Amino acid sequence: MCGRTMASKIFHCLTEALAQYGLPWHLLAGLTPDEAPAIIGQKDRLVALVQRKMAEQNDEQQIALHCILHQQALCSKSLKFDNVMSVVAKCVNYICSSCLQHRQFCAFLEEIESKCSDLLCFTEVRWLSRGSTLKRFFELKTEVKRFMEEIKMPVPQFEDHKWMTDLAFFVDITRDEYAKPEAARSGPAGDSSV
More confident residue, 154 or 29: 154
Residues whose CB falls within 8 Å of the CB of residue 183, separated by 6 or more in sequence, listed in order: 175, 176, 177
Do 188 and 138 form a contact (C-beta atoms < 8 A)?
yes
- What is the pLDDT, as a whole number, of residue 189? 46
Residues whose CB falls within 8 Å of the CB of residue 17, separated by 6 or more in sequence, listed in order: 23
- What is the pLDDT, as a whole number, of residue 183? 40
Q: Are residues 94 and 153 in the same domain?
A: yes
- What is the pLDDT, as a whole number, of residue 171? 86
Q: Are residues 61 and 142 in the same domain?
A: no
Please give the tally of structural domains in the chain.
2
Question: Among 80-89, 114-123, 151-160, where is mean pLDDT lowest?
Answer: 114-123
Question: Among 7-21, 78-92, 156-170, where is mean pLDDT lowest?
Answer: 78-92
More confident residue, 148 or 184: 148
Q: Are residues 50 and 131 in the same domain?
A: no
Q: How far apart are CA 96 and CA 3, in angstroms?
A: 40
Domain span at residue 43 reads 7-66
Q: How far apart are CA 95 and CA 81, in angstroms?
A: 21
Per-residue buried b or exposed e for 52-76, using 16+ beta carbons within 10 Å of the residue's own CB? ebbeeeeeeebebebeeeeebbeeb
> Within 13 Å, how many C-alpha atoms sit on residue 148's CB side?
22
Q: Are residues 85 and 130 in the same domain?
A: yes
96-153 confidence digits (pLDDT tens): 888 888 899 989 888 888 888 888 776 554 555 677 888 889 999 999 999 999 989 9
Q: Which of 66, 86, 102 is the last residue of a domain?
A: 66
- What is the pLDDT, as a whole number, of residue 36? 55
φ, ψ for residue 31, nearest 5 deg: -125, 145
Question: Among 27-31, 68-72, 113-117, 126-130, where is mean pLDDT lowest?
Answer: 68-72
Q: Are residues 88 and 153 in the same domain?
A: yes
The whole-model pTM stands at: 0.52
Do 117 and 170 form a contact (C-beta atoms < 8 A)?
no
- Whole-number average pLDDT of the chain: 75
Q: Are residues 131 and 154 in the same domain?
A: yes
pLDDT at 194 over 90: no
Instruction: Please calculate the CA angle 20-22-28 and round it to the nearest 5 degrees.
Output: 105
Q: Are residues 90 and 152 in the same domain?
A: yes
